[in-house]
Chains A and B, each alone.
Chain A
């Protein structure tokens, strides 16, 4: 069964500093990988996704993520965070064995706090 681990429950970063959120997955083949962001009281918003090809994917809001098969990781990065980036971030893995009908497994999330 697929699984996702986000080892950091809570991260605090100064505004303007760089950010890296960790995500490790367990899956038997090349997975579909996703990052979502959730602002307080709202639903999730898709930041970016990886299906195949270039292992460095660009997303919205200036985020990027790199797929590293050897490390089973899909870490999210941003070179300079803004106060508006404070939110909870979820990594998810999709089961590609049932293409067109993937079921996502979500990590438990990382809460990001931005300090001035």
Chain B
């Protein structure tokens, strides 16, 4: 049982490049979410999903897309990377009816040059 798995762990991009951060969970959780963590700002919700085929925006969705074609996977896409998107990204999932994240991945550290 791997929990929440994020790949890659580290990535460096140039401004304007696109990429996809992968997130997979093997706990059959319906609720999944993406957060970014920046120094002195805690975690901020980017996008979330309450089940396959259903996604919605969080607090800071601009510049990011998500999809949820299966229960297990919830990839986050950066369409055209900007230096302001340099951050640590966390994927999380939850089994509870409430969406509070209970299982986090170990994060992806992303640097945009």
- B43/A46 in contact, CB under 8 A: no
Q: Hey, which chain A residues are within 8 Å of B72, CB to CB?
A: none
Bits for A92-110, please: 1 = Cβ < 8 Å to B, else 0: 1010000111111111110
Among candidates B42, B98, B102, B104, residue contacting A106 with C-beta atoms closer than 8 Å: B42
Among candidates A43, A51, A92, A99, residue contacting B106 with C-beta atoms closer than 8 Å: A43
Instruction: Check if B92 is an interface residue, CB within 8 A of chain A.
Output: yes
Q: Hey, which chain B residues are within 8 Å of A27, CB to CB?
A: none
Instruction: Check if A44 is an interface residue, CB within 8 A of chain B.
Output: yes
Among candidates A4, A43, A103, residue contacting B59 with C-beta atoms closer than 8 Å: A103
Q: How far is the CA of A32 from the CA of B42 in the complex (A)?
A: 18
Q: Hey, which chain B residues are within 8 Å of A103, CB to CB?
A: 45, 48, 58-59, 99
Bits for B82-99, please: 1 = Cβ < 8 Å to A, else 0: 000000001010000111
Interface residue range, chain B: 20 to 34
Q: Hey, which chain A residues are within 8 Å of B107, CB to CB?
A: 41-43
Instruction: Check if A34 is an interface residue, CB within 8 A of chain B.
Output: yes
Instruction: Check if B11 is an interface residue, CB within 8 A of chain A.
Output: no
- B43/A90 in contact, CB under 8 A: yes
Q: Hey, which chain B residues are within 8 Å of A45, CB to CB?
A: 104
Count of A-B contacts with CB under 8 A? Answer: 65
Which secondary structure dominates chain B's binding surface? loop
Interface residue range, chain A: 20 to 34
Interface residue ranges, A against B (CB under 8 Å): 4, 32, 34, 41-46, 49, 51, 90, 92, 94, 99-109
Interface residue ranges, B against A (CB under 8 Å): 4, 40-45, 48, 50, 56, 58-59, 90, 92, 97-102, 104-107
Q: How far is the CA of A101 from the CA of B102 in the complex (A)?
A: 14
- A94/B100 in contact, CB under 8 A: yes
- Contacts known (A43-B90, A43-B104, A49-B100); A106 close to B44, Cβ less than 8 A: yes
- A42/B98 in contact, CB under 8 A: no
- A44/B100 in contact, CB under 8 A: no
* Closest chain A CB from B112 CB (angstroms): 20
- What are the 10 tightest A-B residue pairs by CB atom distance, in nearest-first order? A43-B104, A106-B42, A106-B43, A44-B104, A108-B42, A102-B99, A46-B102, A100-B97, A102-B98, A43-B90
